[in-house]
Amino acid sequence: MTVVTHSASPRRAAYVPSADLVKDVLAGRAIAIARMISRAEEGYPEAAAALAELYRLGGKAHVIGITGVPGAGKSTLVSALIKAYAAGGHKVGVIAVDPSSPYSGGAILGDRVRMSETAAAGGAFVRSMATRGHLGGLTRATLQAVDVLDAAGYDPVIIETVGVGQDEVEVVTAAHTVVVLSAPGLGDDIQAIKAGILEIADIHAVSKCDKPEAAATVSALRGMLALGGERPGSRRAPPVLPVSAVSGERIGELKDAIGAHWAHLNESGERAERQRAMGRTRILGTARHLFQQKFQEAPETLERQIRAVAERRMDPAVAARALLGWEETP
Amino acid sequence: MTVVTHSASPRRAAYVPSADLVKDVLAGRAIAIARMISRAEEGYPEAAAALAELYRLGGKAHVIGITGVPGAGKSTLVSALIKAYAAGGHKVGVIAVDPSSPYSGGAILGDRVRMSETAAAGGAFVRSMATRGHLGGLTRATLQAVDVLDAAGYDPVIIETVGVGQDEVEVVTAAHTVVVLSAPGLGDDIQAIKAGILEIADIHAVSKCDKPEAAATVSALRGMLALGGERPGSRRAPPVLPVSAVSGERIGELKDAIGAHWAHLNESGERAERQRAMGRTRILGTARHLFQQKFQEAPETLERQIRAVAERRMDPAVAARALLGWEETP
């Protein structure tokens, strides 16, 4: 029997420094991966260097963004894709930034409903990100979670996000291949919201293709695309594919289209271009986040500067420069 | 006859350093004031120290924001107010941030139409600000222009802005007293736009009160305010005043209401509170502007960092910190 000598009372496991988690992440250990993603999510400064190292070691995975309005069937589609990729020997990583997605808080290896299927399918890693309380850091945290899965050998890594809101659109455009999922028979107002995300699609999928209304939705989408709804900068007209989570064949077609888009990016040199666009998004997003943190980390200093400016003892530019650390505080 | 000895060819006057303009601004010299405002508008770094000095020396003027949808009659109202204040011995400064306002580009002493009236009325200073190409710097530039007029002894200083768009709302809330002008008989869609600016009003004015529809607009506004449309943080229900630029009496009532609000701010201690809110707006606005400038001032550096991040030689946080000057470039 093992005797705990250093403490008789029950206590939490010691905090593992992030630097020490890196090799376990690279070895694909689920506990280390989950911890590292949590630290990215919370924005722990201690984890910054480890996340930076994982970023530099990553870059191999094909990152797929899947977006669409709530009710379009994104989570069902993602589950079907996990199975299809697993059948081909792929370990799939999923980061869900979708409050309506059914995955549990920190769930590992699949969601509550399809857990056994997914786990049996060769070890996917599925994780939901909190979408609240990030103060503009959602994009940063989500893409760092993608980095962790990428470095851990997951390929492809899927970002699932509801296509409403600036943050959600920003994060999904940081994928190599963006699939926009539409559902037949949704109301006009929802179609209007969706109109804003149509142009970011590399591939359009229409869910529930076993329903009779699906054909009309496919035609409507093809009509819109004929009017010039392509992703800016893309030289390839996005295909429109009817899918159904119950039909394995149609999911295979979507998987093939995603693969064809990835091959196209690699062969045409567009991958490097898109990588640069992602680099820009990440640098500016991180800078915005650091900027906001700067004002939050010293509220007393900010209040003191505000009073000094209000009483004309200091001018706003000097106060702003001092708060940004670009000038000595006078 | 004077001989120009140092150059025979016609040349532009030498650039007067901004530091040398300060005393002429304080003495109220129009040419120096106009130059200093232009430099604020262009965002010349050379002028920053002089503008900071003028900010610290100012703070005496009552700053009045006048806003309302295009067609409400703001410029007409401002001209009538200039006359009313001038009759009481005040030198009025006006900064118009309104693309529909009739003042000419850099006009001094009144607009094209009412120039003689205004000039005769004791030397108002009227200036339009460009509303394009400021990349978020409109608020900064406009409030620096207000600082210049304030330091030059103009009191009150009026900011005239069309109440549409975030920048325009931000700039007008940086006034001590906000007058929202409504016009009778405008369409429902315009009323809907206006709804967004109703809550920032300290005083409501309804123009064209000689028209029969004006009474209905006054009642509608009073009805909305009864439903809780007061300016947040204000402890004073905003009055609703019918005005007409052709009726001097009604303009006098508006001027009295503006004066009563200023007296209330000073007596209640709300002026200091509002001054702090203005200080916060100015610091954050200036910081945002500096932040954007930082990314524009070194486009080659940014492109180099983007390439390094895209090729995984650098991580986004290190790149962002380096660009923000918060870390040595590795």
Q: A295 and B279: CB-CB below 8 Å? A: no
- Residue A114 vs residue A293, higher pLDDT: A293
Q: What is the pLDDT of residue B330?
A: 44
Overall average pLDDT of the A13-38 stretch: 91
Closest-CA residue of chain A to B296: A284
Band of pLDDT at residue A8, cut at 50, 70 and 90? very low
Total residue length of chain B: 330
Band of pLDDT at residue A43, cut at 50, 70 and 90? confident
Instruction: Find chain A residues with C-beta within 8 A of B291's C-beta.
Output: 287, 291, 324
| Three-class secondary structure of residue A196 per DSSP | helix
Percent of residues, chain B, with pLDDT higher than 70: 76
Q: What is the pLDDT of residue B112?
A: 37
Distance CA B291, CA A302 (A): 17
Question: Is a pLDDT exceeding 80 seen at residue B10?
Answer: no
Q: B316 and A279: CB-CB below 8 Å? A: yes
Q: What is the pLDDT of residue B222?
A: 81
Q: What is the pLDDT of residue B139?
A: 81
Overall average pLDDT of the A162-182 stretch: 80
Q: What is the pLDDT of residue B325?
A: 83
Distance CA B219, CA B217 (A): 5
Task: Select from A53, A309, A323 the residue whose CB has the most chain B CBs within 10 Å, as the one to mutate to test that interface.
Answer: A309
Q: B286 and A58: CB-CB below 8 Å? A: no
Q: What is the pLDDT of residue A5?
A: 37
Question: Is a pLDDT exceeding 50 seen at residue A6?
Answer: no
Flag the least confident range among A24-28, A261-265, B226-230.
Answer: B226-230
Distance CA B82, CA B124 (A): 7
Instruction: Find chain B residues with C-beta within 8 A of A321's C-beta.
Output: 290
Which residue, among B170, B181, B230, B233, has the nearest Cα to B204 in the 3D structure?
B181
Distance CA B139, CA B157 (A): 15
* CB nearest B282 (choices: A58, A309, A325): A309
Question: Is a pLDDT exceeding 90 seen at residue B290?
Answer: no
* Cβ B309 vs Cβ B316: under 8 Å: yes
Q: What is the pLDDT of residue A75?
A: 85
Distance CA A79, CA A84 (A): 9
Q: B320 and A287: CB-CB below 8 Å? A: yes
User: Which H or E run includes B37?
Assistant: helix B30-42
* Cβ B152 vs Cβ B26: under 8 Å: yes
Which residues 6+ apart lie within 8 Å of A241 measured at CB? A203, A204, A205, A206, A250, A253, A254, A257
Helix axes A18-26, A30-42, angle to 10 degrees: 130
Overall average pLDDT of the A50-59 stretch: 94
Question: Nearest C-alpha of chain B: how many angstroms from A209?
Answer: 38
Q: A317 and B51: CB-CB below 8 Å? A: yes
* Cβ A124 vs Cβ A82: under 8 Å: yes
Closest-CA residue of chain A to B144: A316
Question: Nearest C-alpha of chain B: how many angstroms from A266?
Answer: 14
Helix axes B18-26, B48-57, angle to 10 degrees: 20
Helix axes A316-323, B48-57, angle to 10 degrees: 120
- Residue B184 vs residue A310, higher pLDDT: A310
Instruction: Find chain B residues with C-beta within 8 A of A290's C-beta.
Output: 317, 320-321, 324, 326
| The CATH number of domain A23-274 is 3.30.1330.80 | no
For residue B156, say if its preceding peptide bond is cis, omega within 30 degrees of 0.
yes
Instruction: Find chain A residues with C-beta within 8 A of B58's C-beta.
Output: 312
Q: Long-range CB contacts (< 8 A, 24+ apart) of B271-275?
A: B271/B176, B272/A310, B273/B233, B274/B176, B275/A310, B275/A311
- Residue B6 vs residue A176, higher pLDDT: A176
Question: Is a pLDDT exceeding 90 seen at residue A120?
Answer: no
Dump pLDDT digits (tens) for A194-246.
Answer: 556 777 889 999 888 888 888 888 887 887 777 654 555 555 678 999 998 66
Flag the least confident range among B5-9, B11-15, B73-77.
Answer: B5-9
Distance CA A61, CA A176 (A): 10
Distance CA A164, CA A181 (A): 13
Q: A310 and B48: CB-CB below 8 Å? A: no
Instruction: Find chain A residues with C-beta within 8 A of B276's C-beta.
Output: 306-307, 310
* CB nearest A55 (choices: B302, B312, B320): B312
* Cβ A237 vs Cβ A225: under 8 Å: yes
Burial of B213 (0-12, 13-18, 19+ CB in 10 A): middle
Average pLDDT, chain A: 80
Q: What is the pLDDT of residue B165?
A: 65
Q: A306 and B318: CB-CB below 8 Å? A: no
Question: Is a pLDDT exceeding 70 seen at residue B114?
Answer: no
According to CATH, the superfamily of the domain at B59-269 is P-loop containing nucleotide triphosphate hydrolases (3.40.50.300)
Q: What is the pLDDT of residue B225?
A: 74
Distance CA A143, CA A128 (A): 13
Instruction: Find chain B residues with C-beta within 8 A of A316's C-beta.
Output: 55, 140, 279, 282-283, 285-286
Strands of the sheet with A125-128, listed across from one edge: A125-128, A93-97, A157-162, A63-68, A177-182, A203-206, A240-242
- DSSP assignment of A41-76 equals HHT-GGGHHHHHHHHHH---SPEEEEEE-TTS-HHH
**Which of A73-77, A251-255, B204-208, B242-246 has the largest mean confidence?**
A251-255
Instruction: Find chain A residues with C-beta within 8 A of B280's C-beta.
Output: 306
Dump pLDDT digits (tens) for B255-281.
Answer: 999 999 999 999 999 999 889 988 988
Percent of residues, chain B, with pLDDT higher than 90: 35
Q: What is the pLDDT of residue B196?
A: 64
Q: What is the ipTM of this complex?
A: 0.78
- DSSP assignment of B39-94 equals HHHHT-GGGHHHHHHHHHH---SPEEEEEE-TTS-HHHHHHHHHHHHHHTT---EE
* CB nearest B283 (choices: A283, A312, A316): A316
Q: A287 and B290: CB-CB below 8 Å? A: no
Q: Are strands B177-182 and B93-97 parallel, antiparallel or unpaired?
A: unpaired
Q: Which of residues 282-321 of A touch B (CB under 8 A)?
A: 282-287, 290-291, 295, 302, 305-307, 309-321
Distance CA B107, CA B101 (A): 12
Question: Is a pLDDT exceeding 50 seen at residue A330?
Answer: no
Q: B306 and A276: CB-CB below 8 Å? A: yes
Q: Does residue B206 come out as left (phi exceeding 0), alpha (psi in the -120 to 50 range) or beta? A: beta
* CB nearest B318 (choices: A52, A309, A312): A52
Distance CA A208, CA B272 (A): 61
Dump pLDDT digits (tens) for A270-306.
Answer: 999 889 988 988 888 888 888 877 888 788 889 999 9
Dump pLDDT digits (tens) for B120-146.
Answer: 446 789 888 876 555 557 788 899 999
Dump pLDDT digits (tens) for B17-57.
Answer: 999 999 999 999 989 999 999 999 888 889 989 999 999 99
DSSP 8-state secondary structure symbol assigned to residue B152: T
Burial of B117 (0-12, 13-18, 19+ CB in 10 A): middle
Closest-CA residue of chain B to A295: B284
At A234, the amino acid letter reads S
Q: What is the pLDDT of residue B1?
A: 39
Q: Which of residues 43-82 of B touch A (CB under 8 A)?
A: 48, 51-53, 55-59
| Three-class secondary structure of residue B113 per DSSP | coil
**Which of A39-43, A167-171, B135-139 has the largest mean confidence?**
A39-43
| Three-class secondary structure of residue A119 per DSSP | helix
Task: Select from B143, B282, B315 the residue whose CB has the most chain A CBs within 10 Å, as the one to mutate to test that interface.
Answer: B315
Interface membership of A322 toward B (CB under 8 Å): no
Q: What is the pLDDT of residue B289?
A: 80
Dump pLDDT digits (tens) for B153-202.
Answer: 999 999 998 766 666 777 777 899 999 888 887 654 455 455 567 778 89
Distance CA A125, CA A94 (A): 6
- Residue B235 vs residue B314, higher pLDDT: B314
Q: What is the pLDDT of residue A52?
A: 93
Q: A282 and B309: CB-CB below 8 Å? A: yes
Closest-CA residue of chain B to A324: B287
Band of pLDDT at residue B108, cut at 50, 70 and 90? very low
In Å, how far from its chain's centre is CA B122? 22
% helix, strand, coil for chain B, step of 5: 50, 10, 40
Total residue length of chain A: 330
Q: Which of residues 83-112 of B touch A (CB under 8 A)?
A: none
Question: Is a pLDDT exceeding 80 seen at residue A164?
Answer: no
Closest-CA residue of chain B to A284: B320
Overall average pLDDT of the A25-40 stretch: 92
Q: What is the pLDDT of residue B189?
A: 45
Flag the least confident range among A92-106, A209-223, A282-296, B99-113.
Answer: B99-113
Overall average pLDDT of the A32-48 stretch: 89
